[in-house]
Each structure stands twice: as structure tokens, then as C-alpha cells.
Amino acid sequence: MNKVKMPLGFLQSGREGTVKEMHGGNNMCRRLAGLGITCGSRVGVISNNAGGPLILSVKESRLALGRGMALKIMVEEE
């Protein structure tokens, strides 16, 4: 199957993806790494309401991530 890269913010609730690229700048990437998001991590979207932050499942935890940032993380949908 042909996998397409898209921003994490476009994934709907209930979908999962693998992080491929992160374009948030060093500082943001550091913080994300501490919370478990690096290239290659699997990220699930628990909730994605237009306009607000997303709730993600990352490893065994739940993260709230602002929409702006979610648009800068490119994932491949699983």
C-alpha cells in the first residue's frame, strides 16, 4: 500500500501514525523527545477537535498537544 505523509493534526480520532519528520525547531523537539515523541514513534489520536489541542496516545501515556505543533509533525498513517 502506498503510504502518504501528512501532518499529525490531520489524523482523525481513533487513527494511528508513525512520526516521520518534525519541524518544530530544536526547543520543541527536545520537549517532545522528553515526552516520548521522536522520529519513528507511534502516535495515536485519541481526540482531535477542530481548533483546539489534540489528545494523543504516546507509548503508555496521554499527551495534550497544541494544534500548531501538531501541524508541524509529519506522520505516515498506519
Partner 1 sequence: MSFRFALVGNPNSGKTSLFNEITGNTQYVGNWPGVTVEKKEGRAKKIKDDVKIIDLPGIYSLSPYTLEEIIARDYLVDEKPDVVINIVDATNIERNLYLTTQLVELGLPVVIALNMMDEVEAAKDKIDIDALAKSLGIPIIPTVATKGRGVNELMQKSLQIAQTAAVGSATGKSLNIFNKGIEKYITEAESALAAHLQDIPFNPRWVALKLLEGDLKIIDRLNLPGKLLQEIGQRRDMLEEEYGSDAETIIADARYDFISGIVKKTIERKRSQGALSTSDKIDKVVTNRLLAIPLFLAVMFVVFRITFGALGSFTIDWVDALINGTIAGTINGWLEALGAAEWLHALIIDGILAGLSSILVFVPQIMILFLFLAFLEDSGYMARAAFIMDRLFKRLGLSGKSFIPMLMGFGCSVPAIMATRTLENEKDRRLTIILTPFMSCGAKLPIYALFAGAFFANNQSLVVFSIYLLGIVIAILSGIILRKTVLKGEPTPFLMELPPYRIPTGKGLLIHMWDRGKGFIKKAGTVIFAAAVFIWFFQTFNFSLKMVEDPANSILGVIGRGIAPIFSPLGFGDWKSAVAIFTGLLAKEVVVTTMGILHGLGEVTESSTSLIGAMQTYFTPLKAYAFMAFTLLYMPCIAAFGVIKREMNSWKWTWFAVGFQTAVAWLVAFVIYQVGSLLGF
**Interface with partner 1 (CB under 8 A):** 14, 16, 22, 24, 26-36, 38-42, 44, 46-47, 49-53, 55, 57-66, 68-69
CB of 5 to partner 1, least distance (A): 16
Cross-strand bridge partners of residue 10: none
Angle value at C-alpha 58, between 32 and 27, nearest 5 degrees: 5
The residue among 5 and 30 lying less far from partner 1, judged by its C-beta, is 30
CB of 2 to partner 1, least distance (A): 22
Distance, CA of 49 to CA of 21 (rounded, Å): 23
Distance, CA of 37 to CA of 69 (rounded, Å): 12
CB of 22 to partner 1, least distance (A): 8
